[in-house]
Structure 1
C-alpha cells in the first residue's frame, strides 16, 4: 500500500471495472457452458438427460419422464410445479407440445463423452458447439449442415415429409432462430395445431379464467385407466411408472405424518422436565402462600 511501486485504485476505477461489458471471449465461454448444460441436463429435474428425450417448440431438451410428471396432477409438489413452469414458460401444456427426439448413438465415441450422439448423414458429433436440428413430426436429429446439403424435404432416415419451417434448431442461440421459432408457434396456434403438428387440445373455460387471473395453467388429469389406454406403448409405460412413483411417495408422506402424532420414546421411563409443559403438570412450591 505504498512505497512498493504499486498503486491504489480509486473508487471510479473499481466501479468502471465492475460495470464493463463482457468481452467476446467471455460471452462465448458463457454460451458454451449453457450449451453444455442444456445438452446433458434436464432443466426441470436437473438430472442427466437419458432416453427417451423430448423437445418443446423452443428447442430445449427434457427427459420425457419429467414432462409426464409435470403434466400429471400432484398434491405434494406445488414448489416443483412452479419451478417447472418457470423453465417451460408456458410452452408445454400437453404431450402434443413436445416431440420425442431420435438421436443416433455414436458407438465409436470415447467413454467419457456424455450422450455420444452423431449425425446419421455426416457422422459429426451432435452436442455443444455444433449446430444441430431435428425434424417435426418424425423427430430425427441431424447436423444443420447436413439438412442444408440434402435436397428435397423428406427425412433421409424415415422418408417422412416435412416443411422447411418444421426444422427445429436444438438449443438455439442465434436471434434469428429464436425469432423464427416464436413466429412458428404463433402460426401453429392460429391453425389450431400443437408443436408436434397434432391438433391442439382445446382449453377449458376454467383454464381460461385461471390464466386471466394469472394463476397456474390447468394440468391434464391422467388416471391409471387412461394410462393404459395411451396408444404409444413407451409413453404408457412411462406414465404408469410416474404414477407408481407418485403413489409410493404419497404413502411414505402419509406414514411420516402419522408418526409425528405419536411419541417414539420408551413409555416405561419417566419423562421428567423434558416433557412438554402441557403434559408434565405444575407443582406448587411448599413455601408458597395460597
Structure 2
C-alpha cells in the first residue's frame, strides 16, 4: 500500500526515532530568577535580600525559615544566619505598573527596578552587581565606567568597598565559583577583624591595670622565716596617714597640749577655756561643763 505514483518515503516515516527532551525556555527561566524568591519560589516582596552567591530572597521569608530552624535547600545551604545575607538598596522603575505584574513575555514588560546611574532595567538582560559593604545595586557596566575614573567607593552612597564586596546577582556558573571564593574571603576578613578587636581590648585593660598598680606603693618586709620575704602593697594615702600618726611631735601635742601653756596663744583666746584663771576663780559653775569650783 502506498508508494505508488513514484513517491519516496522518508526514514522518519518508516522508523520510530527517540524524541528529543523538551528544552527549557531560557528567557522564562531568567525572568523567573529575577522576579521570584529563591527560597519560596514566590514573587519577591520587599525588603529584598541577597546571599553571598548573589541569589535573591524575600527577607521576611528567609528570616522565618531561620527562626524555625528548618533545613535550607541545597542552593541556600550556606545561609545559616543573618550575617550571611545583605539587604539590597534597590531603585524602583518609574515605568513599572501593576499591569507589568501579569504573566507575559519579558519583552513586553518592564522590570520593577533599574540602575540609578544609567537607567538599565534589572530584568536579567543586563548584568547587575551589588556591594556587600552597603547593599547598593547598580549595573556592572556603570560600575566599570565609574571605577575607571574614581576610587573604590560606592557611586550611590560613597561607602568604601573592596574587591571581595562586589557580588554578581544571578550569575552564571563561572560567577558562582568566583562568588564562593569572595564569600570565603569576607568570612576570613570578619574573623580577623574580631581577633584584632579582642587584642585591642586586652591591651586597653592591661594598660588600665598597670596605671592602677602604679598608684600603689610596694614595700618588702621580712617574714618569720629568713629564706623568704613578704610583699605588702599599701595605698599611698593610707601610708601617709599612718606615718603622720607615728610622728612623735604629734603624739606629744596630743597628750601634753594645753591652751593655757601655749606661748603663741593670746590672753583673750585663753580666756575662752576653763583652764584660764578667771574660770577657776568664778563663784558659779560653768554653764557648759558644770565643772566643780576650784580652791
TM-score for both structures, normalised by structure 1: 0.54
* Alpha-carbon separation, structure 1, partners of 2:42 and 2:31: 14
Which residue matches 2:163? 164
Structure 1 residue 168: Cα displacement: 0.7
Return the offset for 1:91. Answer: 1.5
Write the mapping of 1:185-224 to structure 2, written as runs, cut at 5 A: 185-193=183-191
RMSD after superposition = 3.1
C-alpha displacement of 1:45: 1.7
Equivalent position SS for 1:113:
helix
Give, in whole Å, the separation in 2 of the partners of 1:11 and 1:145. 54
Alignment partners' CA distance in 1, 2:139 and 2:30: 15
Which residue among 103, 119, 134 is the counterpart of 2:90? 103
CA distance in 1, matches of 2:194, 2:45: 28
Gaps of at least 5 residues in structure 2 are: 102-110, 196-295
Report the equivalent of 1:67.
62
Q: Which residue of 2 aligns with 1:177?
A: 175
- 1:86 is aligned to 74
Bigger RCO (CA 8 Å, 6+ sep): 1
Structure 1 CA distance for aligned equivalents of residues 143 and 95 of structure 2: 23
Structure 1's 95 and 2: CA in aligned 2 closer, same or farther, altered over 3 A? farther
- Paired with 1:109 and 1:198, the residues of 2 have a C-alpha distance of 42
Offset of 1:160 from its aligned partner? Answer: 0.5
Larger radius of gyration: 2
Question: How many correspondences in the alignment?
Answer: 180
TM-score (norm 2): 0.53
Q: Which position in structure 2 is the counterpart of 1:231?
A: none
In the alignment, the residues of structure 2 paired with residue 176 and residue 154 of structure 1 have an alpha-carbon distance, to the nearest angstrom, of: 25
